[in-house]
Amino acid sequence: MADKKQKSTKITPVSELRFDPVSQDWVVIATGRAKRPDDFLQNGQKTKEKEPALAVQDCFFCDLSTQGQPKLLRRQGGPGKLWDWTVAVIPNKYPAFNYGFGLDERAFGPYRRTNGVGIHEVVVTRDHNRHLAEMSVDQVLEVINVYQERYLDLMNEEYINYISIFHNHGAAAGASVVHPHSQIIALPIIDPDLGRSLAGSADYFGANQKCVHCAMLEEDQKDGRRIIFENERFVGLCPFASRVAFEVRVYPKTHHPHFERINDQDKTQFAQAIRVVLAQINVGLRNPAYNFFIHTSPCDGQDYNHYHWHFECLPKTSTWAGFELSTGIEISSIEPEKAAQYLKSIIT
């Protein structure tokens, strides 16, 4: 895109993207922090003991002076300082993608690969022990405001076509640091999961001249059994075809393709919805590990009016085994209607 910011610093890529010509998926190969084969050796079936969580006095997210130059500091909605902040955005010390060089796309035989151009940031909340499910609506709103602010800035960088906002809670969900934090990764590609979602949405719209997510919301609200939360502008529910037990999604009631364009009223109600559904999962399942992310339209300048942005949270209630890996079909061990009935009963 012509209005993208341009950078030309000499930096070595930390990863490369490789394209699978069969699945049509991109994968990331971490060339900059690649392990040796013997790093993967295990003692039979024994797993490495869980390392103790860092105490507050040893936590590098509590002391931002140990980190790179913050990209953003906020204190209760206003500007923050290095010693006085409530939400901070810092560069990831061990990024999956980095910036300052060209894509250098290469093809040979059926294969394609390109440099892992991108931006990898961490969104840190100040309290070492309080995660989003335990925060107030105003505190969650501050995090959402930061998500949006960074998205609007990163989307104008050269090569950036999609921005992934996600959060890992608990070691089983991939959180290597106990201090609550989210991550933002700006990418030159559209990730495979979102790509499939966009394709399905476009196909439904082409056949029915209607947004598939709006159609699902209409049916879910009419049925009522899978709804776990509702306010004026958002609906929280357990999806009809849940991939895992207690999967939860939050949708805006009004059709819109872009998360980054939501207004202040939407953000406040979105914060309330996120706070409630995360608290329901936290209390109802006794603080399980989970992953959440925001699915929104790419920032590549294309028309995605058929898409409907939303929030997805997947508790780590099971792990993939042979059937799931060999077929790609996920098994959820409880009906979404029963999961929703249980979560809705939780007082938060």
State pLDDT tens for residues 127-164.
Answer: 999 999 999 999 999 999 999 999 999 999 999 999 99
Domain carrying residue 76: 16-36+53-190
Structure-model confidence comparison of residues 129 and 9, the more confident one: 129
Whether residues 68 and 96 fall in one domain: yes
Distance CA 261, CA 297 (A): 11
Work out the average pLDDT over 108-119: 95
Structure-model confidence comparison of residues 333 and 184, the more confident one: 184
Q: Is there a domain that residue 60 lies in?
A: yes
Whether residues 173 and 201 fall in one domain: no
Q: What confidence category does residue 300 fall into, taking pLDDT thresholds of 50, 70 and 90?
A: very high
Bridge-based pairing of strands 310-315 and 248-252 is: antiparallel
Mean pLDDT, all residues of the chain:
91
pTM attached to this predicted model: 0.92
What was the pLDDT predicted at 2?
Answer: 41
DSSP 3-state assignment of 81? strand
What was the pLDDT predicted at 115?
Answer: 95
* Amino acid identity, position 324: E
The 10s digit of each residue's pLDDT in 18-51 is 999 998 899 999 887 656 676 666 655 544 445 4
The answer to whether 92 and 118 are in contact (CB under 8 A) is no
Backbone angles phi, psi at 277, to 5 degrees: -70, -35
CATH number of the domain at 185, please: 3.30.428.10
Q: What confidence category does residue 252 fall into, taking pLDDT thresholds of 50, 70 and 90?
A: very high
Work out the average pLDDT over 74-94: 93
- Which residues on neighbouring strands pair with residue 312, listed in sequence order? 249, 293
Q: Which residues of 3-34 are buried (b: 16+ CB within 10 A; e: fewer)?
A: eeeeeeeeeebbbbbebeeeeeebebeeebee
The answer to whether 75 and 58 are in contact (CB under 8 A) is no
Whether residues 155 and 236 fall in one domain: no
Distance CA 13, CA 116 (A): 6
Whether residues 147 and 210 fall in one domain: no
What was the pLDDT predicted at 254?
Answer: 97
Q: How far apart are the first and last CA of the chain?
A: 45
> Which of 190, 225, 260 is the last residue in one of the domains?
190
The 10s digit of each residue's pLDDT in 261-290 is 999 999 999 999 999 999 999 999 999 999
> Which of 146, 162, 190 is the last residue in one of the domains?
190
Does residue 320 register a pLDDT over 90?
no
Q: Looking at residue 174, what DSSP letter applies?
A: T
Q: ∠ CA(154), CA(158), CA(164), 5° rounding? A: 40
